[in-house]
């Protein structure tokens, strides 16, 4: 197993015993990911040479159901923090959250000289940083396909790609040891909405024979070419024309081109539009300011006007296509939305596919919509209501053929996706030994146009964020949350007098989420008795509060598991006061008296 690298590569070089071909040397260029490998999200790719680090993207990963109470998952920035004396600059390929969402957390811990971002991404980043006090003055420099960033060791150029958001760029990085292409998220669409991919520039890069290609792997398992965005737009327009009642369209807020097409289709069909969902409202607002969404103020409805507008003149576009509990569509399906109440005859269009893991939530929302009498349309073999923003297998082959790299590293995908992309690269002629399927933290060495995998690695763990707390939650906290969710807790209140080393009364057990107290009085009394016996035995000799708590846990946990086959969290609470315990006892007597009277 590779060793954890906890020193800078300059120091590691000093140990002569490690001089092997795969050992990092002083003039090497290091390539490593802190996020984006083995997962779809939190993309962050770093290129390090001497005292400079070029970072491409800084995203978040949205947590699954198993990460209770976690808002975001971000990369571990430990290595970048240790390298704070080195000059660092951040390059953004496009404005999706899995590429820009981690920026506020990074800026609070790591010194970044400047952020270079395309036009739409820059607007989204500025809005995001405005919500974080002290970060709104961060230097953000706008870039496009003709931009060039030159530092002491790096020259960074760009080329246009097609994705589901405007101003998406691929990156060409020239270092003292060779050149690297990082595609960002891309697809090939021969009839695109917005800017076309720069095939000529990609082909020219291929003529220059770059050393390493790092390419998007998300749809490695999808055969053939993806559907054009214009086909989806035509399908939605046709549905708008045929629908005589109110129309509600749910899609990803981040899919700006799709949102624009839906709004334009509604206006063509004589419908007024209204937008619900905070992220959707933000994107529409920024899209209109950028000129990407060309809808006039007169074409929008206010919430108050919605109730007085004929149903066949209304198009509602909203968030919630993934069944998110608090999103607009979920509140509509539950009947809890402030402005929209479903009517029989409403048509709801899902212009999206469920993200893996979200199918159950989406199906639950669809079922509720059907129960309300609505017609629900989802993507199927009968329609083209959605297309992906990521390259399928054939499109990945085209990128490999255009760039013609000597070495290949699949990125942005789960392990299965990375391996499928590896097989695709082999099919188009990249030698097996020149392909590197890495994990977060693994280091590739670029040395004189040759790529090697280092025998060292950096820390590449996940950091769990609750709210805006950038310190991150420990795995112990998450473990406790899972136990609380599955088994509940049991609190044991113990009153002692440390001066006389005596227990003042029998322990009191309180349960939450473990057993129903009224139906388990016998179990609770027995548990209180055995804890009391164990504590009396323990307190025959001099002891400490810590030892008393351990005594309670070691006695109660096996007993409860034996009786219930469940492992609740046991929390001992020791009260070292005779007066406090007398008050508690008095309250217990009063409660018993009240129950008898009732």
- CA atoms 182, 187, 193, 199: torsion sign: positive
Q: What is the CATH classification number for the domain harbouring 38? A: 3.60.15.10
Residue 26 to residue 298: CA distance in whole angstroms = 62
Q: Report yes or no on 195 lying in a domain.
A: yes
Residue with tokens 């954890």: 4
167, 211, 216, 442: the catalytic one is 216
- In the block, residue with structure tokens 């810590």: 546
In a shared domain, residues 264 and 369: yes
Tell me: do 46 and 157 sit in the same domain: yes
Structure letter (DSSP) for residue 581: H
Measured in degrees and rounded to the nearest 5, phi and psi for residue 491 equal -105, 135
Instruction: Give residue 385's pLDDT.
Output: 86
Backbone angles phi, psi at 205, to 5 degrees: -60, -40
Task: With beta carbons less than 8 A apart as the criterion, state whether 87 and 97 touch.
Answer: no
CA–centroid distance for 3 within its chain: 28
Find, among 272, 194, 278, the residue nearest to 233 by Cα: 194
- Residue 116 · residue 91 · CB < 8 Å: yes
Which of these three, 334, 350, 377, is where a domain ends? 377
- The verdict on residue 588 lying in a domain is yes
In this structure, the answer to whether residues 527 and 573 fall within a common structural domain is yes
Do the domain assignments include residue 478?
A: no
Q: What is the pLDDT of residue 10?
A: 41
Per the annotation, binding residues are 69, 71, 94, 96, 98-99, 163, 185, 253-255, 386-390, 412, 466
Q: Are strands 375-377 and 407-411 parallel, antiparallel or unpaired?
A: unpaired
Distance CA 176, CA 156 (A): 12
Q: Give how many domains the chain has, as a whole number.
A: 3
Q: Which two tokens stand for residue 556?
A: 């109660």
| Residue 495: exposure state from Cβ atoms within 10 A (0-12, 13-18, ≥19) | buried
Q: Rounded distance, CA 152 to CA 346, Å?
A: 60
Question: Do 76 and 129 fall within a single domain?
Answer: yes
Residue 158, phi then psi, degrees to nearest 5: -140, 160
Instruction: Let me know if residue 398 belongs to a domain.
Output: yes
Does residue 41 lie in a domain region? yes
Whether residue 233 is found in the same domain as residue 219 = no
Are 211 and 179 in the same domain? yes
Residue 383 covered by a domain: no
Strands of the 29-35 sheet, one edge to the other: 3-4, 450-457, 442-447, 29-35, 44-49, 52-56, 87-91, 115-118, 140-143
- Among 256, 265, 376, residue whose Cα is nearest residue 323: 376
CATH number for position 534 = 3.10.20.580
What pLDDT is recorded for position 14?
39
Q: Which residues are annotated as a binding site for Zn(2+)?
A: 94, 96, 98-99, 163, 185, 412
- Let me know whether 520 and 403 are in one domain: no
Which of these is catalytic: 390, 421, 442, 462? 390
Here the CATH number for the domain that contains residue 372 is 3.40.50.10710
Q: At what angle do helices 199-207 and 393-403 cross, to 10 degrees?
A: 50
So what's the pLDDT on residue 475?
57
Torsion of CA 234, 236, 239, 240, to 10 degrees: -100
Exposure letters 528-547 (e unless 16+ CB within 10 A, then b):
beebbebbeebbeeebeeee
Dihedral sign computed on CA atoms, order 180, 186, 190, 191 = negative
Flag whether 299 is in a domain: yes
Which of 377, 399, 418 is the last residue before a domain boundary?
A: 377
How far, in Å, CA of 183 to CA of 170, rounded?
A: 4
- Domain extent for 502: 488-597
Asked which of 337, 354, 377 is the last residue of a domain, the reply is 377
The token duo for 100 is 């820009």
**In this structure, are strands 87-91 and 52-56 parallel, antiparallel, or unpaired?**
parallel
Q: Does residue 178 sit in the same domain as residue 78?
A: yes
Task: Report the alpha-carbon distance of residue 53 to residue 88 in Å, rounded.
Answer: 5
- To the query of whether residue 390 is one of the catalytic residues in this protein, the response is yes
Q: Is residue 38 part of a domain?
A: yes
- Residues 251 and 397 grouped into a single domain: no
Q: Are 90 and 58 within 8 A, CB to CB? A: yes
Instruction: Return contacts of 8-16, CB within 8 angstroms, 24+ apart.
Output: 8/82, 8/83, 9/456, 12/456
Residues of the chain where predicted confidence (pLDDT) is lower than 50: 1-19
Q: How far apart are CA 412 and CA 170, in angstroms?
A: 14
Alpha-carbon distance of 60 to 78, in angstroms, equals 16
**CA 515, CA 462: separation in Å to the nearest integer?**
34
User: Do residues 295 and 273 lie in contact, with contact meaning Cβ atoms separated by under 8 Å?
Assistant: yes
Positions at the binding site for Ca(2+) = 69, 71, 466
33 plus 179 within the same structural domain: yes
**Residue 369 backbone dihedrals phi, psi, to 5 degrees:** -65, -40
Cβ(323)–Cβ(364) below 8 Å = yes
11 annotated active-site: no
User: Is the separation of the CB atoms in 218 and 395 below 8 Å?
Assistant: no
CA distance 572 to 569: 10
Q: Verify that 461 and 507 share a domain, yes or no.
A: no
| Same domain for 237 and 219 | no
Q: Alpha-carbon distance 260 to 253, whole Å?
A: 10
């Amino acid at each position: 197993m590779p060793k954890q690298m906890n020193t800078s590569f300059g120091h590691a070089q000093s140990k002569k015993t490690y001089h092997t071909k795969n050992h990092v040397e002083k003039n090497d260029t290091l390539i490593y990911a802190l996020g984006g490998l083995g997962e779809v999200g939190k993309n962050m790719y770093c290129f390090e040479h001497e005292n400079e680090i070029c970072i491409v993207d800084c995203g978040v990963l949205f947590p699954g159901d198993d990460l209770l109470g976690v808002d975001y998952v971000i990369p571990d920035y430990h290595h970048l923090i240790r390298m704070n004396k080195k000059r660092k600059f951040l390059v953004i390929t496009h404005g999706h959250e899995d590429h820009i969402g981690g920026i506020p957390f990074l800026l609070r811990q790591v010194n970044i000289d400047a952020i270079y971002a395309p036009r739409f991404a820059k607007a989204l980043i500025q809005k995001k940083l405005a919500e974080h006090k002290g970060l709104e003055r961060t230097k953000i420099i706008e870039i496009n396909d003709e931009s060039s960033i030159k530092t002491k060791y790096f020259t960074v150029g760009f080329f246009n790609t097609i994705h589901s958001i405007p101003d998406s760029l691929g990156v060409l990085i020239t270092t003292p040891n060779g050149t690297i292409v990082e595609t960002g998220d891309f697809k090939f669409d021969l009839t695109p909405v917005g800017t076309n991919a720069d095939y000529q520039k990609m082909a020219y890069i291929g003529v220059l024979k770059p050393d390493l290609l790092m390419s998007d792997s998300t749809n490695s398992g999808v055969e053939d070419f993806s559907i054009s965005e214009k086909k989806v737009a035509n399908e939605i327009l046709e549905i708008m024309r045929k629908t005589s009642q109110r129309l509600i369209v749910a899609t990803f807020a981040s899919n700006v081109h799709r949102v624009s097409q839906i709004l334009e289709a509604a206006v063509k069909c004589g419908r007024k539009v209204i937008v619900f969902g905070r992220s959707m409202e933000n994107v529409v607002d920024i899209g209109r300011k950028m000129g990407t969404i060309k809808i006039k103020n007169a074409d929008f409805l206010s919430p108050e006007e919605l109730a007085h507008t004929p149903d066949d003149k209304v198009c509602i576009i909203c968030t919630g296509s993934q069944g998110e509990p608090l999103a607009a569509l979920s509140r509509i399906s539950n009947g809890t939305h402030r402005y929209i109440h479903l009517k029989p005859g409403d048509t709801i269009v899902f212009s999206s596919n469920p993200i893996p893991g979200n199918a159950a939530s989406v199906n639950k929302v669809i079922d509720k919509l059907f129960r309300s009498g609505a017609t629900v349309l989802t993507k199927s073999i009968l329609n083209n209501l959605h297309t992906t923003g990521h390259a399928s297998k054939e499109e990945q082959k085209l990128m490999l053929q255009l760039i013609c790299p000597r070495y290949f590293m699949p990125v942005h995908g789960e392990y299965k996706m990375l391996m499928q992309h590896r097989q695709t690269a082999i099919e188009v002629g990249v030698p097996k030994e020149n392909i590197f399927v890495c994990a977060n933290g693994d280091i590739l060495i670029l040395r004189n146009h040759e790529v090697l995998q280092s025998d060292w690695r950096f820390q590449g763990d996940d950091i769990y964020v609750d709210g805006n707390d950038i310190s991150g939650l420990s795995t112990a906290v998450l473990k406790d949350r899972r136990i609380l969710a599955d088994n509940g807790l049991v609190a044991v209140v113990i009153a002692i007098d440390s001066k006389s080393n005596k227990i003042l009364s029998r322990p009191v057990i309180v349960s939450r989420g473990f057993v129903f107290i009224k139906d388990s009085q016998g179990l609770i009394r027995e548990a209180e008795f055995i804890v009391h016996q164990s504590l009396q035995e323990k307190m025959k000799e001099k002891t400490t509060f810590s030892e008393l708590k351990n005594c309670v846990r070691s006695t109660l946990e096996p007993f409860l598991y034996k009786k219930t086959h469940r492992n609740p969290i046991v929390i001992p609470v020791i009260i070292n006061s005779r007066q406090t315990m007398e008050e508690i006892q008095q309250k217990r007597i009063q409660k018993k008296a009240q129950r008898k009277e009732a």
